[in-house]
Amino acid sequence: MVGGALCAAGLALFAMGAWAGVTNSWPVRYPRQLIEGRPKLISIVPEARQTAVDRAGRLLDYPGKVETQCPEQAPGTAVILIAGQSNAANSGAARHMTRYPDRVLNFVAGRCFVAASPLLGSNGSAGELWTLLADKLIDSGAFDRVILAPVAVGATKVAQWAEGGDMNATMKPLTAALVSRYRVTHVLWHQGESDLMLGTDADSYRKYFLSFAASLRTQGIEAPIYISRATRCGPGWKVPNPVRTAQQQLLDSNSGLRTGIDTDLLLNAQDRYDDCHFAESGQTKTAQAFAELLMPSHTAAQLKTDEQR
């Protein structure tokens, strides 16, 4: 009986010790104070802004973002919709903040923010080139204000952006909010790396892209769509390839499908930090090339060239 009583007492002490350890209660609290010092005072501060995303992982809010009033669209306002995969999203090596906080804004879900990496509307939390592009457009005098509205998501294939695809479906609430407030002036498409890796043939790529373009038109987006040649990612890349062929064949000024930037050939190995995603030099080169492409004088010359073909 004595042995049983001792065993029961031991179990009770063990249970009490475990409870005291978990709850930081007596008798654990005092030995801890000898080792760790007395508890620090806790200051109560407002809850920090949290990251918020949509079903596709696109950022809808992010710590440090500066919200501002959405301006009215004037004749000198560029409203740029950006779609595609990681190099169109927040995967760049360097983060950037606009030098024109009252003139370069990031629009998402009916709200406007001072443009700064990572841009809301795309996934990822690193850098991007679009803020650089917008600043260059302001520098040039081509536009008085630039509103960036990205919807890009990394590692996506073109079929996902076609009507019925998950990227298309999750994009639509964002584009609907955009067109309810602004007239889109440019659509920039930078995608293709995933499809080359997956072996998508040229006919399939064209079919899915045209479905994506048609879905934008259905939503009332009549802006020209600039199609980049973007297939380079990882070892073994070569040209020609079926995806680049499709991107080139899609160009049709009568349908508003215009040539974008050929980042496959524009950027060298040093412009990509992992043989795929853009290093800071790659971001800068691509932003400069897009700025030159989107300047009204260049656009007019391009249309004239297309008409003569």
Spatial contact of 70 and 177, defined as CB atoms under 8 Å apart: no
Kindly tell me the number of DSSP H helices and DSSP E strands found in the chain.
11, 10
Residue 23 pLDDT: 31
Position 87 pLDDT exceeds 50: yes
Whole-Å CA distances, 163 to 8, 122, 218, 220: 69, 19, 11, 15
Q: Where are the strands (E) in the chain, listed by range?
A: 52-53, 59-61, 67-68, 77-84, 104-108, 111-114, 145-150, 186-190, 225-229, 257-262
Q: In this predicted model, what pLDDT tens digit does every residue of 14-37 receive, in sequence order?
A: 444 433 343 333 343 333 333 333
Percentage of the chain lying above the pLDDT 90 cut: 78
Domains with residue ranges and CATH for the chain: 2-36 (no CATH), 52-308 (3.40.50.1110)
Average pLDDT over residues 168-194: 98
Position 166 pLDDT exceeds 60: yes
Nearest to 194 by CA among 54, 91, 84, 55: 84
Residue 297 pLDDT: 72
Average pLDDT over residues 151-171: 98
Residue 296 pLDDT: 86
Spatial contact of 148 and 98, defined as CB atoms under 8 Å apart: no
Residue 35 pLDDT: 30
Residue 21 pLDDT: 41
CA 207 centroid distance within chain: 24
- Per the DSSP assignment, residues forming a β-bridge with 149 are 81
For residue 187, what is the DSSP state? E
What phi and psi, each to the nearest 5 degrees, are found at residue 263? Answer: -70, -20
Position 12 pLDDT exceeds 60: no
What phi and psi, each to the nearest 5 degrees, are found at residue 184? Answer: -70, 130
Rounded to the nearest integer, the mean pLDDT of the chain is: 86
Give the angle 138-288-136 at the CA atoms, nearest 5°: 10
Question: Higher confidence at residue 122 or residue 13?
Answer: 122
For residue 147, what is the DSSP state? E
Residue 300 pLDDT: 44
Q: In this predicted model, what pLDDT tens digit does every residue of 226-251 receive, in sequence order?
A: 999 999 999 889 999 999 999 999 99
Least confident of 27-31, 63-67, 122-126: 27-31
How is residue 147 written in tokens? 């509103």
Question: Higher confidence at residue 38 or residue 147?
Answer: 147
Q: In this predicted model, what pLDDT tens digit does every residue of 185-228 receive, in sequence order?
A: 999 999 999 999 999 999 999 999 999 999 999 999 999 999 99
Judging by beta carbons within 10 Å of its beta carbon (0-12, 13-18, 19+), is residue 147 exposed, middle or buried? buried
Q: Report the b/e string of 37-64 with b at 16+ CB within 10 A.
A: eeeeeeeeeeeeeeeeebebebbebbee
Dihedral of the CA atoms 233, 274, 57, 256 (nearest 10)?
-40
